[in-house]
Structure 1
Amino acid sequence: MNATTSTDTPTLSSPQEPATAKGPRRSLQSFLKPELAVVPVLVVVIVAGAVLNPAFLSYNNIFGILQQTAELGVLVMGLTLVLITGKFDLSLESTFGLAPMVGVYVFLSLDGTALGLADSPVVALVAILVVGALIGLFNSALVVYLKFNAFIATLATLILLRGISLGLTHGETLSGLPPLITAMGQQSFIGLPVSFFVALIVLVVLSLFLSRHRVGRYLYAIGGNQLAARVAGVRVERVLIGVFVVAGVLAALAGLLQMGRIDSIPTSLGQNLIFSAFAAAVLGGVSLNGGRGTLSGACGGVLLLVLIQNILVLAQVPGYWINATTGAIILVALLISRFTGADKSS
């Protein structure tokens, strides 16, 4: 007698395998992929920008757009990794500003306005990324081990870090930065910003990690169903710690890029940037419920957001109206996600 052997071990589905849907809704979801829905909108926005203002397609304007896209894109990629796991990290905004400030303040000598313990740009660069990693580690301890709500815990961290950045420099702007510190944010290569290539490298590496590495697939499994992932043998706590740390490093890197572009570190560096980051992620088809989204889609959302804001600036729209568009864009993106299936709660 032949006995049939069955295994009850859960398997981890690919991030590209959405939940089964039936009828017209399935057809709509298969036609309107969340990460691709932004592409036709990008085309329309670019054409509209070119028609409304000839300066839109000028070299200097495109150069600036790529710089801003790179800075926000690196931050959004860190946020996307966290969102895929079903968690939040609002403190990335403060990490964006505090990490460069700490690295420069502690390890560079700027006309007596900093401690200058090493007075070494290389040490300062390393310190910036290390500070980002430590902030991510701190957040992961709150969320993973103390079981704090990720939204509230990282909101508290955001406020705490913003206060530290103000107290550290007494509200003063750090300037006179050495060229090595500002190179990634200011220099160009073959006519394009170096920061753009930095963001592109990060995008390619992390995209391959998410699609090809089993730990990358674990992120989707945790965001989709943490209990099932744990039963399947995923070390959920270890993966979440790694995600928060990587997100912190990416936020610090993004802050480094913007710091280089503006050649200074104001205490307001990165302020309110988290709202743009969430808007871009949602525009790119990243689900706020976890388990779904791609980095390429999120970066598409970043480009769309930066293009819209650039068009409004060229049209000389007052700044307060430009800020209001971010909220409107989030609402539109949520509406789009409802029809494309990115919102799993629908």
Structure 2
Amino acid sequence: MPPATELRALPETGTTEPEGRRLKLARLRDLSLVPVLLVLCLIGFIVSPAFLTSDNLLGVGQQSTELSLLVLAQALILIVGRMDLSLESTIGLAPVVAVWLVLPDHGARFNGLGLLPEWTSIPLCLLVGAIIGLINGFLILKLRLNGFIVTLGGLTLLRGLQIAISEGQSIVNVPSSFSYLGSATWLGVPAAVWICTVLFAIGGSTLAWLRHGRALYAIGGNAEAARAAGIRVDRLVWAVLIIGSLLAAFAGILYTGHYGSISADQGSGWIFQVFAATVIGGVSLNGGRGTLFGALTGVLTLQLVVNVMTLAGVPPLWNQFLNGAIIIVALIISRFASGEKQE
């Protein structure tokens, strides 16, 4: 079915705003954080001249990559009208399982099984992520369980499994492939930054230009209208859930390689930052609205705020308060930017 046929179903969702005006508003929302980023850069330079140095900016980029991949995953899932809370546990469990199956027992506190060669560590990690997304999709789409409760339960279950396998200890021996991707530099820029940029570009291009990408907006806007237009709603939603978990597992690879170890609570509490970055970036919690560029600017905003606070000597104990405040402000911004009427 041609893309135009699918997209003609969108006006049936009850939206009467002209298409041209919607596109202009969408572009404005995408760029709404750009002035904020410029102001943060100015404040950062005033606070410390070291802010605009290449080392500091590359450091911010490196530290943003893992969170960016989780935001990329969550943005795709929100656009299609769903949410996945288990992403923050997938970033920890997937690398733990891969390392557990690959590393041999060497008498340390963490004892691996050593069943598979080391080169399989990355494919194993991604496979774990795909399986998590597959199970989430089955429970939500086939058994028709509430997605919020399913992924909330998955968050707790996966976190418990991670702690049980790692025996509550940090794993300091990681495969060389993990270490390379997390710490390598290509053309003077961390490899993780290049990889993250490419993935965002692919995702953004898919949403903007490909038929299946545009169909995600139709599903998030009105799933029944999308189904009536011939879009295979369940199949696409299931695919997005799997892709989201794959991205979370890959974020786990980069994070593990960056820090050279896997902590027992890796990823804990990240989901709050993920939602904050996604929503202030213009992605609607109600589905069918937002872009990956906007989501990326949300990540950069959060990371620059933390970086400026650090350079200003603000204690990191305030970071949790700041994240909570940003989430509340993000919801307020989302409420008014969407133009939705209060019932």
Task: Give the TM-score taking structure 2 as reference length.
Answer: 0.91
| More off after superposition, 133-142 vs 309-318 | 309-318
Contact 2:130 2:242 in 1 (8 A): yes
Contact 1:72 1:277 in 2 (8 A): yes
Residue 57 (structure 1) aligned with residue 52 (structure 2): yes
**Residue in 1 that maps onto 2:104:** 109
Query: How much has 1:105 moved relative to structure 2?
Result: 1.3
Question: 1:49 & 1:342 partners in 2: Cα distance?
Answer: 33
Question: 2:118 & 2:178 partners in 1: Cα distance?
Answer: 6
Question: 2:248 & 2:181 partners in 1: Cα distance?
Answer: 15
Of residues 183, 186, 209 in structure 2, which corresponds to 1:186?
183
Contact 1:142 1:153 in 2 (8 A): yes
Letter in 2 for 1:296: F
What fraction of aligned residue pairs are identical, expressed as a percent?
Answer: 42
Q: What's the CA shift string for 1:23-70, capped at 9, x where partnerless?
A: xxx79x739722111111010011111111222223332222111211
**Residue in 2 that maps onto 1:303:** 300
Query: How much has 1:119 moved relative to structure 2?
Result: 5.3
Letter in 1 for 2:173: G
Residue 131 (structure 1) aligned with residue 128 (structure 2): yes
Letter in 1 for 2:243: V
Contact 1:85 1:220 in 2 (8 A): yes
Residue 39 (structure 1) aligned with residue 31 (structure 2): no
Matched residues, number = 334
Query: How much has 1:116 moved relative to structure 2?
Result: 4.0
Query: How much has 1:11 moved relative to structure 2?
Result: 3.7
Letter in 2 for 1:329: I
Map residues 77-226 of structure 1 onto 2, 5 A cutoff: 77-109=72-104, 111-112=106-107, 113-118=110-115, 120-226=117-223
Query: How much has 1:10 moved relative to structure 2?
Result: 6.7
Contact 2:30 2:294 in 1 (8 A): yes
Report the 3-state secondary structure (helix = DSSP H, G, I; strand = E; otherwise coil) of the residue aligned with 2:7.
Answer: coil
Question: 2:142 & 2:338 partners in 1: Cα distance?
Answer: 32
Residue 66 (structure 1) aligned with residue 58 (structure 2): no
Letter in 2 for 1:186: S
Query: How much has 1:263 moved relative to structure 2?
Result: 0.4
Question: 1:344 & 1:199 partners in 2: Cα distance?
Answer: 36
Letter in 2 for 1:170: E
Question: 2:39 & 2:98 partners in 1: Cα distance?
Answer: 41
Question: 2:269 & 2:125 partners in 1: Cα distance?
Answer: 20
Query: Which has the larger helix fraction?
Result: 2
**Residue in 2 that maps onto 1:275:** 272
Of residues 337, 340, 343 in structure 2, which corresponds to 1:340?
337
Report the 3-state secondary structure (helix = DSSP H, G, I; strand = E; otherwise coil) of the residue aligned with 2:299.
Answer: helix
Query: How much has 1:341 moved relative to structure 2?
Result: 2.2
Query: How much has 1:165 moved relative to structure 2?
Result: 0.5
Where does the alignment leave 5 or more consecutive residues of structure 2 unmatched?
none
- Cα pair distance change 1:291/1:107, threshold 3 Å: same
Query: How much has 1:117 moved relative to structure 2?
Result: 2.6
| More off after superposition, 182-191 vs 77-86 | 182-191
Query: How much has 1:329 moved relative to structure 2?
Result: 1.1
Question: 1:161 & 1:31 partners in 2: Cα distance?
Answer: 36
Contact 2:75 2:283 in 1 (8 A): yes
| More off after superposition, 47-56 vs 270-279 | 47-56
Contact 2:6 2:230 in 1 (8 A): no
Where does the alignment leave 5 or more consecutive residues of structure 1 unmatched?
1-8
Letter in 1 for 2:45: A
Question: 1:310 & 1:121 partners in 2: Cα distance?
Answer: 36
Residue 233 (structure 1) aligned with residue 222 (structure 2): no
- Cα pair distance change 1:240/1:57, threshold 3 Å: same
Contact 2:105 2:114 in 1 (8 A): no
Of residues 251, 266, 270 in structure 1, which corresponds to 2:248?
251
Q: What's the CA shift string for 1:272-314, capped at 9, x where partnerless?
A: 0011000000111000000011111101110111111111222
Contact 1:83 1:289 in 2 (8 A): yes
Question: 1:267 & 1:104 partners in 2: Cα distance?
Answer: 13
Task: Give the TM-score taking structure 1 as reference length.
Answer: 0.90
Say what the alpha-carbon RMSD is for the aligned residues: 2.5
